[in-house]
Amino acid sequence: MSFRPRWVAVAAALVLIVLPVPRAAEAAPPAAVALDPGEPALIRFRLPNEAMLQRLVAGGEDLAARPRTQNGAVLADIVVDDARLAALTAQGAEPLQVIQRGSSGAARATRLAAQADTLHFLQAYWWTSNGKTFLQTQVATTATDDPDVEITVTWRTADGATGSFPLVRFEDSGEYQYHYALPQPMPAKPVQVTAASSLGGTSRAITPAVWPGATPPPLPAGYQKDFVDAYMTPVDIKARIKRLARQYPKLVDVINLPNKTQGYRRTAVAYLGDPNAAAVIVESVAFGDQGMNGVQVRTVDPGAANRPLSATYKDRVLTVRLATDTTGKTISTTDDVAAFISARYPQRFRAVVEEGSAGLPMPVAGPARLDDGLQGTEVPKGPWTVQALRIGKTRDGSKPGVLSYSQEHAREWATPLVTLEFAERLLANYATDPATRQLVDDVDIFIIPTVNPDGANYSFNDFNFQRKNLVNHCAGATRDPRYRNSWGVDVNRNYTVGSYFDGYVGASANCLSGTYAGTAELSEAESRNVIALAKAHPNINLAMNVHSYGGYFMWPPGAYKADGRVTLPRPSIDESKFFLDSARRIVGAIATERGTVTWPSYTGPVADVLYSAAGNSADQLYYELGIDAWDFEVGNDRWNETTQQWEGVGFQPPFDEAHAESQEYANGLLELVRVARDRAAAEQ
């Protein structure tokens, strides 16, 4: 390392640059300065006076750059080692800044050793899926603030094979979490892993543990399964619920949940004018199916001078007569027409100016036909009663209760297949399988196959990626039909604990956002229904919310505040152990179907393994009602041996994949019931 040329001067020829200093700078205390033994450094000193500078120059001190004065003191940049730093400090020189450190042998080695980080494995698990062995690791470094730290994991198998792979840094909400990699294919069972970082840190060698390390009892001969053979719309689901209640009257109650949803309905809308030039959006106040689909609206030239803006509504036609000037020319603007329609017919129509059309002359246009735009002709249009199945030999609240609910998000078509396959297995095997009979006798089971039927109907018939419900809280220009596929409330952001309204991350106040939280906590019928069912049946102490996709298994906390990534309170040590131990059992049950393994890195609290989900249902069930609540994300990534890549399956995979998901995750729900039974037995 080289420094600037030594500044040489004689005392008689000393020239100082005098610089004023702001008062704030004068008051700021200097940072502590320390050097390792033998370490050279270029340091800026404040000398008490010019006389000391002259002594240093005369003594051949290694000065770099021209000294300068500040308020009577002298600033000088001097190359020193630790001994010289101590000597100058003793003479009254005050070190202000280490401008540059040197690199001399022992000092450099000492410093590098001090910089080495400490590494620790947070996870090291292996498993076998469909004949292939995988290893997954997470490693944390103490160099949390260094974004350039590189960590490599080295592995060894029982037969002596070795290899390595790099990890990548993971931050969440600006906070370092760990370094990780996706599951890595192994030639055999790994027996040792170590980690090393670019800072010189190394971990201790550890032996990876088998994941999940739990296997349920085998299904008996003659066990009945595979009860789903197609995707099911809410109409199909309602018919299936009705059939199960009729077929198994001694084991099933159907619960009509108290809050009717809006239904598969929307207001009727039309563009009056040319959306590419000048237009007004006219919308019915009532829903389209309430007699407003097909209503026409038009603007006309009255054909006379000095006419005011006026309108008539007759025979399902709204006619707006534009205002004219003294020459008979129409003078109404788009703003005039929109405001007039809304004020003249507030119980029937609302109107806004189409974006980009404000203040433009309103053309003679129409007639335009209002329409709700819904394509599902076979879907009932009225308010929808959400239904739950209650399954059990004893359904009086005396048995431990388990709640499973699905399709909070409309586009997750595979999730009702899971809950209905689960229900069918319990009922069909009750008479022939003693293990199933014991579960149904000992546990009170509640199932909501579709929490969000309106959004699901829209997803099946209009826009398959619809996530939210159909309630449109947008106002003004955001009610433009071009945004129709973005309307609605995210049901799983509308609950009360850790909500957007309390400052938690993961939901939005934007009505067009995919995570729109609604106008207030529990503003939506769909979310109120889930909580109403749980409150009405206080024997429910376990719950599973079935989502897709990605292959996650999660529990609270599910949300945090951004500043400092402060989560909702963590479960106790005992509760955390119960969550994880139960997860291992359930993940093991899922894997028995076709070898699908939910990754250990995808198993844990929602806020840690997925993201912050402000106002989700599991948090409210857990923190407010004391229910141990989990979340599935069915649809695990699949390993492609040809490409050596993990591949996602999506919200609506080909039915063969969705069918397989229903079978394996129904296994998981059955294990959840066993967990409930076993815990109740242990508490007796």
Question: What are the pLDDT digits (tens) for 420-465?
Answer: 999 999 999 999 999 999 999 999 999 999 999 999 999 999 999 9
What amino acid positions are annotated as catalytic residues?
633
Q: Is the pLDDT of residue 50 over 90?
A: no
C-alpha distances (whole Å) from 524 to each of 19, 37, 504, 623 are: 67, 68, 19, 20
Chain segment 100-140, per-residue pLDDT in tens? 887 655 544 555 455 689 999 999 999 999 999 999 999 99
320 bridge partner residues = 299, 311
Q: What is the CATH number of domain 234-261+392-463+524-683?
A: 3.40.630.10
Q: What's the 3-state SS for 525-569?
A: HHHHHHHHHHHHCCCEEEEEEEEEEECEEEECCCCEECCCCEECC
Place of tokens 């599951």: 183
Distance from C-alpha of 163 to C-alpha of 601, rounded to nearest angstrom: 21
What is 119-210's CATH topology?
Answer: Immunoglobulin-like (2.60.40)
Q: Output the six-digit token pair for 462.
A: 């209009």
pLDDT at 572 over 90: yes
The yes-or-no answer to whether 119-210 and 234-261+392-463+524-683 have a common fold is: no
Q: How many residues does the chain have?
A: 684
* Ranges of each domain in the chain: 41-101, 119-210, 234-261+392-463+524-683, 267-370
- 398-413 tens-digit pLDDT: 999 999 999 999 999 9
Cβ partners under 8 Å of residue 591, min gap 6: 129, 212, 597, 598, 664
Name the burial class of residue 67, with classes exposed (0-12), middle (13-18) and buried (19+) by CB atoms within 10 angstroms of its CB.
Answer: buried
Q: What is the pLDDT confidence band of residue 55, given thresholds at 50, 70 and 90?
A: confident
**Confidence (pLDDT) at 210:** 97
Mean pLDDT of 243-248: 98
Average pLDDT for residues 619-648, to the nearest whole number? Answer: 96
Contact 510, 503 (CB under 8 A): no
117: its two tokens: 């980080």
Element (H, E) at 76: strand 73-80
